[in-house]
Amino acid sequence: MKRPFYRLQGSKHWRNSHRAVLRAALFTVLLTSGAIAATSADSSFCESLATLSLPHTTITLAKSVPAGEFTAPPPANAPSGYSEAPLKNLPGFCRVAATASPTSDSVIRFEVWMPATNWNGKFQGVGNGGWAGRISYDAMAVALRPGYAVASTDTGHEGNGGDASFAFGHPEKLVDFAERSVHEMTVLAKALITAYYGKAPQYSYWNGCSSGGRQGLVEAQRYPHDYNGIAAGAPANYWTHLMFACLWPAKADLINPSSYIPTNKYELIHRAAFAACDALDGVADQIITDPTPCHFDPGVLTCKGADAADCLTAPQVEAARMIYAGPTNPRTGQQVFPGLEPGSESGWKAEAGGPRPFIIPLTYFQYVLFKNPQWDYRILNYDQDVALADRVDGGLLNAINPDLKAFRDSGGKLLLYHGWIDNLIAPRASVNYYQSVLTAMGGRQQTESFFRLFMVPGMGHCGSGPGPSDFDRVGVLEQWEEQGVAPDKIEVARHTKDLPPMTRPLCPYPEVPQWNGSGSTNDAANFVCAVENERQIHATPGRGGTPGGR
């Protein structure tokens, strides 16, 4: 059977030939710019980068931006008069915008920002969310302030992040989104950085969450030499199965009107879940440290009479149970994707609030899988359609390969983190991937030398939630990669207006933070990391699914 193009491009032959082309281009860049690179803070030198010749790439802008504020261009199709909020407190930088066209249907826009002074000698690539479609300017600003040269891409199309219609009739654009755009951006950004400073970045780091987490795992699995360290948060790496999971709440809640849970009842379920689970860790603090030992049943809220605001009807109870359980194959009973955890209920509105299903999975089925914009989500089959999605994908959108030997051997470090109350990507999906890597790499000791998973109590999707979740992802990687200090424990903080300050440790899975029984529970110093029991060393069935999911 003929191999699809995107698998050919990932072959050893394609990678080697591509590297050769880029090496030649980089050599040309150095010859033409090396003599003046030392004066890279000069605005005229920044503007001269517009004349660089890079493979299948057009540089559309090269301009010095003074220190202070920068207002990013509005997104595509923004209403007339729309303006982005300015990004503040930026150092002066050289802004380069470019478009890469590795295929005739590729239009991969990306930008590279390089500090005019006080460059830290490092490069940071930042990720996207959803279906992407826009350069992540906010994330670029965060990386630029401490001195990184930084790059971001729109992944090959313009859009709002929620719509997959760009892929309809454009298979190469789907490849660009899936893997090619980030790799192209990374290699070309390094060439531009080298031209500007006269030397290549000493270290390169990736920082992304959700789709950006998936992008990070794609890099580790398929392009293991692109980055020295990768921070991948809440990765959407089992993309095809995640799309089924994201429509599962709609199947539970929207198809049958009697099953619909009004959004004002989410808080009712949320409070009951915390009543059942919060104190299991010995601390009643509105943070469920680890939901896996909690077996909360929403049936405790069943109405004793007519439907009311303080109870759930029998169909509503079943809908809530389905959301916790996650999708399963109706014929085999096999878990398709883990379910959401107790504590996530306040965020169910995104996928179950109605009146339409969540647009990210809906448009996947309409424009990518079935190629029918009129496709009706109510006919989705969790047996044949799951198998079809896996066949059609062929490893393009999914990034579940557990063999990370090449990344490990390159010296790379991988930091995977996921919030336990994530309402969009079930957190046990990350546990399952981690378990599959343990098996492939020979166990925990061999794996933890380069890859660690941190589950974040009380954190929702890529942030928010009642638990502390603020920490310097790239800083942790730097300590690990550059100083050899592995993250045995990470201190995270909470800084919100309506909750008191708090610090807690994050522990490498399967360890969990445990209060030592004395001192403030708002202080990380009073917690230790320990394996609670052997239950946590294996992915659990039911809500959690089976390890690996390959």
Asked if residue 364 and residue 262 are part of one domain, the reply reads: yes
Question: Any bridge partners for residue 108, and if so which?
Answer: 100
Same domain (yes/no): 269, 172: no
Task: Tell me, yes or no, whether 155 and 250 share the same domain.
Answer: no
Beta strand 229-233 pairing with 413-419 = parallel
Does residue 422 contact residue 432 with C-beta atoms inside 8 Å? no
Residue 87: inside a domain: yes
Judgement on whether residues 191 and 260 belong to the same structural domain of the protein? no
Mean pLDDT in the chain?
Answer: 90
Residues 70 and 175 in one domain: yes
Please state the domain count of the chain: 2
Give the pLDDT confidence of 100-140 residue by residue, as tens digits.
Answer: 999 999 999 999 999 999 999 999 999 999 999 999 999 99
Cβ–Cβ contacts within 10 Å for residue 95, how many?
18
CB distance 511 to 439 below 8 Å: no
Q: Same domain for 61 and 191?
A: yes
The pLDDT tens digits for 364-414 are: 999 999 999 999 999 999 999 999 999 999 999 999 999 999 999 999 999
The answer as to whether 474 is a domain residue is no
| Same domain flag for 29 and 163 | yes
Q: Pairing relation of β-strands 229-233 and 451-456? A: unpaired
Catalytic residue numbers read: 210, 422, 461
Q: How far apart are CA 146 and CA 228, in angstroms?
A: 18
Task: Give the residue numbers spanning the domain of 82.
Answer: 1-201
Sign of CA dihedral 158, 163, 165, 170: positive
Q: Confirm whether 88 is domain-assigned.
A: yes
* CB 301, CB 544: distance < 8 Å: no
Instruction: List pLDDT tens digits, range 192-201.
Output: 999 999 999 9
State mean pLDDT over 260-275. Answer: 96
Do the domain assignments include residue 217? no
Reading the block at residue 447, the tokens are 């794996």
Q: Which of 201, 216, 235 is the last residue of a domain?
A: 201
Query: Does 191 share its domain with 87?
Result: yes
Cα distances (Å, whole numbers) of residue 494 to 74, 240, 417, 500, 502: 31, 34, 16, 8, 5
**Which of 147, 173, 201 is the C-terminal boundary of a domain?**
201
Residue ending a domain, among 366, 393, 420, is: 393
Dihedral sign, Cα of residue 277, residue 280, residue 284, residue 285: negative
Nearest to 63 by CA among 75, 74, 76, 49: 49
Interval 429-487: pLDDT, tens: 999 999 999 999 999 999 999 999 999 999 999 998 999 999 999 999 999 999 999 99
| pLDDT at residue number 33 | 44
Q: Are residues 161 and 252 in the same domain?
A: no
CA distance 485 to 468: 23
Say which residues have a Cβ less than 8 Å from residue 418's Cβ, sequence separation at least 6.
233, 234, 235, 425, 427, 429, 430, 431, 453, 454, 455, 456
Sign of the CA dihedral 308, 310, 314, 317? positive
DSSP structure string for 469-487: -B--HHHHHHHHHHH----
Least confident interval from 49-53, 186-190, 311-315, 531-535: 531-535
| 164 domain-assigned | yes
Question: What proportions of the chain, in percent to the nearest 5, are helix, strand and coil?
Answer: 40, 15, 45
Q: Specify the pTM.
A: 0.91
Residue 170 in domain: yes
On whether both 108 and 252 belong to a single domain, the answer is no
Residue 517 lies in a domain: no
Of 168-177, 183-192, 261-270, 525-534, the poorest mean pLDDT is in 525-534
Give the chain's radius of gyration (CA, Å).
24
Whether residue 110 is found in the same domain as residue 164: yes
Identify whether 144 is part of a domain. yes
Q: Judge if 194 and 249 occupy the same domain.
A: no
511-542: per-residue pLDDT in tens?
Answer: 999 999 999 999 999 999 999 754 343 343 33
Asked if residue 56 lies in contact with residue 100, where contact means CB atoms within 8 angstroms, the answer is yes
What is the per-residue pLDDT for 532? 72
